[in-house]
Structure 1
Amino acid sequence: MLKNQVQLITYPDSLGGSLTKLDQLLRTDFADLFPGGVHILPPFPSSGDRGFAPLTYLEIDPAFGSWDDIRSIGEHTDVLVDLMVNHISQQSPYFQDFLVKGRASEYADLFLTLDKVWEDGNPVQEHIDNMFLRREVPYSSFVIQENGQEEKVWTTFGKTDPSEQIDLDIRAVVTQQLLRSFFVNFKQNNVKIVRLDAVGYVIKKLGTSCFFVEPDIYVFLDWVKALADELEIELLPEVHAHYSIQYKLAEYGCWIYDFILPYRVLEALINRSGGELCRYLETRPAKQFTMLDCHDGIPVKPDLDGLIETQDAQRVVDTCLERGANLSLILSDKHKSEDGFDVHQIRCTYYSALNQDDDAYLAARAIQFFVPGIPQVYYVGLFAGVNDLERVALTGEGREINRQNYTMEEIKRQLEKKVVLRLTELIRFRNTHQAFQGQFSVLESTDDIICLAWILGEQQCRLTVDLKTYQSIVSYTEDSGEFAEYRI
């Protein structure tokens, strides 16, 4: 059963350099901050994409620690890890065996050779033009060592050619057996929640976008949910798509990510106008994980397609660019807006996106925490971190703008910052006030005032955010039943 309290998102080495240090922090300095759990971004051996090209899920990268550390964390905090159900590393023992033996490998059927998609194995550009692409072409070519033959295999992601991330054939029995072994291992090591990363890409079907292909996707979700239920593991599908797809997943009974909220909150604070945000909050599904920032960026397209006017979005994007952000762009012309708007994600820290304004940032977090769902706080956001432009310039990777690492000494200093002290007080309030287990409502608001409320019997709490000044006030019932308030 998931806890309706705040979760932390972090890389395994970003807080103190190891899982052991993370465990220590969760037991001490963070002891009352993240009872909802901790999302540990991929701690597995990986060949790229900072963990998202895993070699296996049966081991922890020794540079981070061991399964003993995960089990130890799991004894006091629910652990969430990623399973990249769509792909695995080119350097994995499974694909390396395939590179040597080709079709004679016992793992050959794990992978999508192109003859599984096109009968003669030759890709057709007309079909590719219909696909939602994450790279120029959705496949990579390799030469098999034992026979010198070329094999083309599906690779949705990857900046290199050939890609480091090799797609799995989720229909194959050997793939399902391998995924089962990963889930069983998670269960044995105190993992409570598994995020199905890139699950929208697992179905490849000609004549479609090869993204969230219905009804085929539900066959896979049924299978993986039955497996997770058997092991008492919660699932969190990760799908960046038109919001209607997210809503379908919610209707299907899945937990989903609220990828609309980060933009709506940012838009409200930049424009000092909360009308669109309040209208959204009145209709959104409640069974969601909420976030503002993460290891990638603030979602724009396709998550908000149909919800925003591109000229309005461009103004928000331009403001973030002025404040140091960079962008992830849509590659496929077919999936850009008609006017050419092509922003997939805005890459920056949320604090920098709000011009390092403490009050605006705390207002954003207060809104997030008052929105129904399980709130997640990214570790850089916990410290109100600023854009790391030097790291971007050094690596050439735009996402490094929001992926700083902190030593234990730096963490101590960060926790003493005034804005962080205000945030941690707000986190503790969100974790402990009983009204958040009750009924949510959007109270009558004006365009520049946002009012949100929770009520559970006699327990009540209300948030009022003044977008003109960014001042946020929480009114709430104390244990005595008396009303009190504090300015965030």
Structure 2
Amino acid sequence: MTHISSQEHPQEIIFKKLCDHLSVIYPHRDGKSLAKRLMHTMRLDEDCQSPLPHKNLWDETDVMVITYGNTILSEKQHPLKALHHFLKTHFTMLINSVHILPFFPYSSDDGFAVINYKRVDPALGDWNDILRISTDFHLMADLVINHCSSLHRWFRNFQEGKSPGRDYFITASPDEDLSNVVRPRTTPLLRAVPRGDGCEYVWCTFSHDQIDLNFHNPQVLLEIVHIVRFYLDMGVRIFRLDAVAFLWKKIGTSCINLEETHEIIRLLRTLIEHADPNAVIITETNIPMRENLSYFGNANEAHCIYNFPLPPLLVNTLVSGNCRHLNSWLMGMPPTRNGTTYLNFIASHDGIGLRPAEGLLSEEEQEVLIQTMENFGGQVSWRALDDGSRKPYEINISLFDAMKGTTAGEDRWQMERFICAHAIMLALEGIPAFYLHSLVGTTNDYARMEAHGHNRAINRRQWQESELNAKLADPDSHHHKVFYRLRRLIQLRREQPAFHPNAAQFALQLGEQIFAFWRQSMNRRQNIFCLNNISDERQTVPLSSINLVGADRWKDLIGDQIFEDMLGTIELKPYQTLWITNRW
């Protein structure tokens, strides 16, 4: 590796880092020439900043909302304006970051088959709307770089043998052994397309409308870096690298999590953080836990990774009434280094992924979970295996409906179970991210699912702003109850140093019906003991079992109860959460 002197100019340091990255990605090419072109594309040859190593770019006040650009509709204005108005009306001083799912022109997959990376879908609004949102919230946008739409100009040029695009896509022969390739879908991997006087087969990891880009060609990397620079100029601060685990392909391998993929992420990190030291990279890698953790690298890849095991484990815990697996997972989670953290979520535009639960839940337990979710109106999406068979990939259901009951059936604890799930998410190490539909208690949208013809649409409802506002204002509406109870929990979380995303976290062993952990602020002054009854029966916990220090006065932040008798007990109602702290 190139030696870097502390006396060197920042541009020289970046140049050498880029050359190191490129020597791994393209060992047989001229890395120096390409490094200069990358720096010029990012304008780092004009100006650059030096990021502080291991700096936390977040604190306990950071809370994110995930939404489509057209989740909120209005007859008076474009969807992005309606969304901005809704966010400012309801979430000011509550949510400070927003992930707007792909807002570009697209041909399928609700935005993830991008036709033009540099345009805002006219049906949503324009770049001025995006810039306005970015002035009020930290904006996260998707960098959909594994593939593009079959309607993208690059792919049309590929078919016609023209540039740019002629060599931007991966081709393979159906006769090659592709049996090791890991797939998240059941469609055939290769798509036959006419080209010139013949036919070629292009690689399609996700669908035949999503054609995988060929990063073996450095020009593709340059195109993506140009897009990154443009997004920075348009107010994007947080980059979500969509489906990035599949980026590099090598025949004879699984084509997932390859070393070149990791090195491309490191290269993007180098470019982005020197252009804006406050920018953040988040990798979206819906894969088993150990593989997912690898995307932190040596604190030189993703700043944040999605905590993908949390949704299936937490839902399983609450419908089974047993936290054994969730507790084991928590004990096995490595603490994050400064400068890295987890993005915690329990609902999103996709389903409840089952791959991250592999090795954590048995097949029998997954089958019970799937059957329970189907009983509550959920659907199942599948992925293909090497032998041509299929396996459950995710459960598609709104989180509010997923909490209708337990494995025994529906019951009266839906609301309490739903709030408990979010109280756990809010208290865990990492940054909490709420799907907008969870914040307002949206239920399964069967009509949208049938109209769109795919299971994920069940949890992608579009609300008329006036209708949703009316429901949020109605005290008898479950939407109102969900929103205001979650609002209070978020406000409490934002005031606690012990809930900093990098504050210490320790699992507590209080039985299989109490999921408990201890958080401690980075200056060690505040402790919070988080106790969650994950069952439909009352539970009693001796105060002595959680080692409260007698010299301090302890209080439950949520219920305001004061604890003075250290030899007493705590009684938790079904699905009740306590945040017991010595500083309030």
Query: How far 1:333 sits from its partner (Å)?
Result: 4.3
Instruction: Report if the CA contact (8 A) 1:368-1:375 is conserved.
Output: yes
Cα-Cα RMSD: 2.4
Instruction: Report if the CA contact (8 A) 1:273-1:467 is conserved.
Output: yes
SS in 1 for 2:136: coil
Aligned partner of 1:87 among 147, 165, 170: 147
SS in 2 for 1:65: coil
1:206 aligns with 2:206: no
Partner in structure 1 of residue 567 of structure 2: none
Give the Cα separation in 1 of the matches to 2:483 and 2:112: 29
Aligned partner of 2:289 among 234, 240, 243: 243
Task: Write out per-residue CA displacement over residues 416-459 of structure 1, whole angstroms, 9 at most, x where no aligned residue.
Answer: 42122111111221222222123222233211112233232433
Partner in structure 2 of residue 436 of structure 1: 499
Task: Write out per-residue CA displacement over residues 450-472 of structure 1, whole angstroms, 9 at most, x where no aligned residue.
Answer: 22332324333332212233789
Question: Cα–Cα, structure 1 residues 16 and 394, in superposed 2: closer, same or farther, change >3 Å?
Answer: closer
Give the Cα separation in 2 of the matches to 1:143 and 1:193: 38
SS in 2 for 1:75: helix
Instruction: Report if the CA contact (8 A) 2:498-2:519 is conserved.
Output: yes
Instruction: Report if the CA contact (8 A) 2:287-2:308 is conserved.
Output: no
Partner in structure 2 of residue 386 of structure 1: 443
Partner in structure 1 of residue 313 of structure 2: 264
- Residues 2-401 of structure 1 aligned to structure 2 (within 5 Å): 2-4=58-60, 5-16=62-73, 18-35=79-96, 37-99=97-159, 101-102=160-161, 104-114=162-172, 122-124=173-175, 127-133=177-183, 134-144=185-195, 147-158=196-207, 163-213=208-258, 215-232=259-276, 233-253=279-299, 254=302, 255-285=304-334, 286=336, 287-301=341-355, 303-334=356-387, 342-355=391-404, 357-401=414-458
Question: Cα–Cα, structure 1 residues 61 and 394, in superposed 2: closer, same or farther, change >3 Å?
Answer: closer
Give the Cα separation in 2 of the matches to 1:353 and 1:318: 11
Instruction: Report if the CA contact (8 A) 2:186-2:382 is conserved.
Output: no
| Paired letter, 1:234 | V
Task: Write out per-residue CA displacement over residues 142-168 of structure 1, whole angstroms, 9 at most, x where no aligned residue.
Answer: 223xx443232212111xxxx211111
Query: How far 1:335 sits from its partner (Å)?
Result: 9.1
Give the Cα separation in 2 of the matches to 1:472 and 1:291: 27
- Stretch deviating more after TM superposition (392-401 or 326-335): 326-335
Give the Cα separation in 1 of the matches to 2:444 and 2:113: 25
Instruction: Report if the CA contact (8 A) 1:388-1:404 is conserved.
Output: yes
Instruction: Report if the CA contact (8 A) 2:174-2:201 is conserved.
Output: no
SS in 1 for 2:271: helix
- Stretch deviating more after TM superposition (373-382 or 442-451): 442-451
| Paired letter, 1:314 | E
Give the Cα separation in 1 of the matches to 2:326 and 2:312: 9
TM-score, with length taken from structure 2: 0.75
| Paired letter, 2:236 | V
Task: Write out per-residue CA displacement over residues 213-264 of structure 1, whole angstroms, 9 at most, x where no aligned residue.
Answer: 2x22222222222222232231111112222111222343222111101111
| Paired letter, 1:276 | H
Instruction: Report if the CA contact (8 A) 1:363-1:471 is conserved.
Output: no
Question: Cα–Cα, structure 1 residues 183 and 470, in superposed 2: closer, same or farther, change >3 Å?
Answer: farther
Give the Cα separation in 2 of the matches to 1:34 and 1:45: 27
Query: How far 1:334 sits from its partner (Å)?
Result: 4.6
Question: Cα–Cα, structure 1 residues 14 and 398, in superposed 2: closer, same or farther, change >3 Å?
Answer: same
Give the Cα separation in 1 of the matches to 2:127 and 2:188: 37
Count matched residues.
Answer: 461
TM-score, with length taken from structure 1: 0.89
Partner in structure 1 of residue 51 of structure 2: none
Query: How far 1:484 sits from its partner (Å)?
Result: 4.5
Partner in structure 2 of residue 118 of structure 1: none
Partner in structure 2 of residue 119 of structure 1: none
| Paired letter, 1:231 | A
SS in 2 for 1:423: helix
Give the Cα separation in 1 of the matches to 2:537 and 2:120: 43
SS in 2 for 1:29: helix
Instruction: Report if the CA contact (8 A) 2:158-2:167 is conserved.
Output: no
SS in 2 for 1:129: coil
| Paired letter, 1:429 | L
| Paired letter, 1:85 | I
Question: Cα–Cα, structure 1 residues 319 and 482, in superposed 2: closer, same or farther, change >3 Å?
Answer: closer
Give the Cα separation in 1 of the matches to 2:525 and 2:537: 29
Give the Cα separation in 2 of the matches to 1:176 and 1:75: 29
Structure 2: give runs of 5+ residues left out of the alignment. 1-56, 406-413, 474-479, 560-576, 578-584
| Paired letter, 1:435 | A
Give the Cα separation in 2 of the matches to 1:238 and 1:472: 37
Question: Cα–Cα, structure 1 residues 70 and 3, in superposed 2: closer, same or farther, change >3 Å?
Answer: farther
Task: Write out per-residue CA displacement over residues 315-337 of structure 1, whole angstroms, 9 at most, x where no aligned residue.
Answer: 1111011111101112124597x
1:463 aligns with 2:530: yes
Query: How far 1:97 sits from its partner (Å)?
Result: 2.3
SS in 2 for 1:270: helix
Instruction: Report if the CA contact (8 A) 1:383-1:414 is conserved.
Output: no
Structure 1: give runs of 5+ residues left out of the alignment. 115-121
Instruction: Report if the CA contact (8 A) 1:444-1:451 is conserved.
Output: yes
SS in 2 for 1:462: strand
Partner in structure 2 of residue 409 of structure 1: 466
Question: Cα–Cα, structure 1 residues 431 and 471, in superposed 2: closer, same or farther, change >3 Å?
Answer: farther
Question: Cα–Cα, structure 1 residues 343 and 471, in superposed 2: closer, same or farther, change >3 Å?
Answer: farther
Give the Cα separation in 2 of the matches to 1:2 and 1:94: 37
Instruction: Report if the CA contact (8 A) 1:10-1:379 is conserved.
Output: yes
**Percent identical residues:** 26
SS in 1 for 2:463: coil
SS in 2 for 1:109: coil
| Paired letter, 1:187 | L
Question: Cα–Cα, structure 1 residues 48 and 12, in superposed 2: closer, same or farther, change >3 Å?
Answer: same
SS in 1 for 2:395: strand
